[in-house]
Amino acid sequence: MNLLKDIQSRKKLNRKSLAVLIDPDKVEDPNSILNLIALAKECYVDFFFVGGSLLTQDNFQPIVKLLKEKCDIPVILFPGNNMQISNSADAILFLSLISGRNPDFLIGQHVNAAPLLKRSNLEVIPTGYLLINSENNSAASYMSNTVPIPADKYSIASSTALAGEYLGMGMIYLDAGSGAKECITPKMIRKVSETITVPLIVGGGIRSGTSANESLKAGADIIVIGNAIEKNPNLMIEVSEKIYDFNKTLNIH
């Protein structure tokens, strides 16, 4: 399976996808995600993303293994740093934090990770990662020592995303940061999606079916939800139904 090719073909069809993010640090016991996995199998969940800004427990590897054991939903690593690599996953977002100017997160961490990834079976997906925020206080911003692009600076975000595409990145990820008070605005998503041709991932602070729907309509190809589904797993049902409805009109189910 080549996930990037699959995601690119979905984009050509304008087919939308849902990724459920599991932050291992927010899971006390890996077995506690069994219910979430069972629910995801019933819903239209396309991907599990696993990762976080900081890992203080040893849950990361067991969670990835459990996901792979218990379901067929592809598991994609969304690493906060180069310690978050697991050969049990299907793929890794090889994130370059192009909204920032910290060389360590633009290329440094990647040099350390590259030989490990070469020895792994992971599909490596080059991804331009942009932090967007009206408040400069997300964990990702703090941990990466970078300043997010202001939420109303559409040209800066679009040009940054386009530069990422021109540098060969296979996808662009717009992130308002985990648990953001405000998710990325439809206007920002529209401006960026109209500028790039590669698939667009959008996440951070999506808490309702309505905001998920708005993000999809504005041009997100994949939406990522973590916090809100941890708090209310039933949101997965609501959002996946929205995505189902979206895709139904394309006659591809």
Print burial letters for 208-242: b (CB count within 10 Å at least 16), e (below 16): bbebbbbbbebbbbbbbbbbbbbeebebbeebbeb
Q: Is 3 exposed, middle or buried (0-12, 13-18, 19+ CB in 10 A)?
A: middle
Binding mask 115-144 for ligand 1GP (x = CB under 6 A): ------------------------------
The verdict on whether residue 240 carries a ligand-binding annotation is no
CB of 80 to ligand 1GP, least distance (A): 9
Contacting ligand 1GP within 210-239 (CB under 6 A): 224-228
CB of 152 to ligand 1GP, least distance (A): 19
Size, binding site for ligand 1GP by CB under 6 A: 14
Q: Kindly write down the DSSP assignment for every residue of 195-241, as one continuous string.
A: H--S-EEEESS--SHHHHHHHHHHT-SEEEE-HHHHH-TTHHHHHHH
* Position 209 contacts ligand 1GP (CB under 6 A): no
The verdict on whether residue 227 carries a ligand-binding annotation is yes
Query: Which residue among 85, 204, 239, 240 contacts ligand 1GP (CB under 6 A)?
Result: 204
CB of 226 to ligand 1GP, least distance (A): 3
Query: Which residue among 127, 133, 178, 193 contacts ligand 1GP (CB under 6 A)?
Result: 178
Compute the distance between CA of residue 170 and CA of residue 168 in angstroms, rounded to an integer.
6
The verdict on whether residue 205 carries a ligand-binding annotation is yes
* Position 205 contacts ligand 1GP (CB under 6 A): yes
The verdict on whether residue 209 carries a ligand-binding annotation is no
Beta-bridge mates of residue 158: none
* Position 21 contacts ligand 1GP (CB under 6 A): yes
Displacement of CA 2 from its chain's centroid (Å): 17
Compute the distance between CA of residue 22 and CA of residue 30 in angstroms, rounded to an integer.
11
* Position 206 contacts ligand 1GP (CB under 6 A): yes
Nearer to ligand 1GP, 9 or 137 (CB): 137
CB of 212 to ligand 1GP, least distance (A): 10
Question: Is residue 102 a contact partner of residue 45, using CB atoms and an 8 Å limit?
Answer: no
Question: Is residue 96 a contact partner of residue 84, using CB atoms and an 8 Å limit?
Answer: no
Compute the distance between CA of residue 153 and CA of residue 97 in angstroms, rounded to an integer.
17
Residues of the binding site? 23, 53, 173-179, 204-205, 226-227
Point out which residues bind ligand 1GP (CB under 6 A).
21, 175, 178-180, 203-206, 224-228
